[in-house]
Amino acid sequence: QLQLQESGPGLVRPSETLSLTCTVSGGSISSGDYFWGWVRQPPGKGLEWIGSIYYSGSSYINPSLKSRVTISIDTSKNQFSLKLSSVTAADTAVYYCVRRDRESSGYYYVDFWGRGTLVTVSS
Amino acid sequence: EIVLTQSPGTLSLSPGERATLSCRASLGLSSTYLAWYQQKPGQAPRLLIYSASSRATGIPDRFSGSGSGTDFTLTISRLEPEDFAVYYCQQYGSSPLTFGGGTKVEIK
């Protein structure tokens, strides 16, 4: 059974870099059938798409975050990672790692979510 | 960027009633690249519907989706106690992917 597990510090200082890793179990991240991505949700608010990556390393980042976000993938460890630089209190959120599956038309929808991890930005 | 507007913000209904949730896109989606998710407190969202009307694996048939272009609807035919939650729509046909602001379905 597929599992996505986020890991990383729960507290990050302002202006520093937030780093999270998603470990995939029950499936191979090297499968060409899926994209892997990140979504965040500030406490009590809605969902925001951060970006996604293919097993080849090809990635797409939300333009609103592009200058601060890096998404990478390590197929040998079956993991992918998120780095968000120069964080502020506005980056406090639950961060979810997700899988995107392909529908028949070739477009990818999010079909599976990790449980999420709360990251608080505070001094 | 495509903006998705969900209405109403909150829907107060009783178990057994029918729920109709709306999601309107600021620009017409190139096809039916729209998904619906259910989120309960303290949990990750769960996929209900993709491609506007296709139910995800294991989703009861009381959940149905419809629509195309700019107007989409999620219908829950008869609310069960476990259906009271927040529902989000998401478009995935245009980058960046975007989510609606959510509709909370609460017990009346």
What would the pLDDT profile of B68-78 be if each residue is shown by its tens digit?
889 999 999 99
Range in A41-55, B3-17, B29-43 with the lowest mean pLDDT: B29-43
pLDDT at B31 over 90: no
Select from A49, A96, A104 the Cβ nearest to the Cβ of B97. A49
Q: B51 to chain A: which residues are within 8 Å by CB?
A: 103-105, 109
- Secondary structure of residue B49 in the 3-state scheme: strand
Q: Tell me the mean pLDDT in the region B11-33.
A: 91
Which among B44, B50, B96 is the nearest to A113, CB-wise? B44
- The pLDDT value recorded for residue A83 is 98
pLDDT at A15 over 80: yes
pLDDT digits (tens, 9 = 90+) for A28-61: 999 888 999 999 999 999 999 999 999 999 999 9
Q: How many CB atoms lie within 10 A of CB B89?
A: 30
- What's the pLDDT score for residue B96? 93
Q: Which two tokens stand for residue B29?
A: 């989606």
User: Which pLDDT score is estimated for A105?
Assistant: 82
Token digits of residue A15: 């202006």
pLDDT tens track for A46-102 = 999 999 999 999 999 999 999 999 999 999 999 999 999 999 999 999 999 999 998
Buried b (16+ CB within 10 A) or exposed e, A4-25: bebebeeebeeeeebbbbbbbe
Q: Is A105 on the interface with B (CB under 8 A)?
A: yes
DSSP B15: T
Model confidence at B50, in pLDDT bands (50, 70, 90)?
very high
- Per the CB < 8 A criterion, the answer to whether A74 and A17 are in contact is no
pLDDT at B32: 84
Cβ of residue A42 closer than 8 Å to a chain B Cβ: no
**Residue A13 pLDDT > 80, yes or no?**
yes
- Is residue B29's pLDDT more than 80? no
If you average pLDDT over residues B14-30, what whole number do you get? 92
C-alpha to C-alpha distance for B105 and B83, rounded to whole angstroms: 8
